[in-house]
Amino acid sequence: QVQLVESGGGLQQPGGSLRLSCVASGHTISRSVMGWYRQVPGEEREFVASITWSGAVTSYADSVKGRFTISRENAKNTVYLQMNNLKLEDTAAYHCEVRLNPPADVPGSWLLRWFRDGPDYWGPGTQVTVSS
Tens-place pLDDT, residues 56-78: 899 999 999 999 999 999 889 99
More confident residue, 109 or 8: 8
Whole-angstrom Cα distance, residue 14 to residue 112? 29
Backbone angles phi, psi at 41, to 5 degrees: -55, 130
pLDDT of residue 101: 86
Computed from CA positions of residues 51, 57, 60, 66, in that sequence, does the dihedral angle turn out positive or negative? positive
Classify residue 74 by its DSSP letter: G
On the 0-12 / 13-18 / 19+ scale of CB atoms within 10 A, 77 is buried
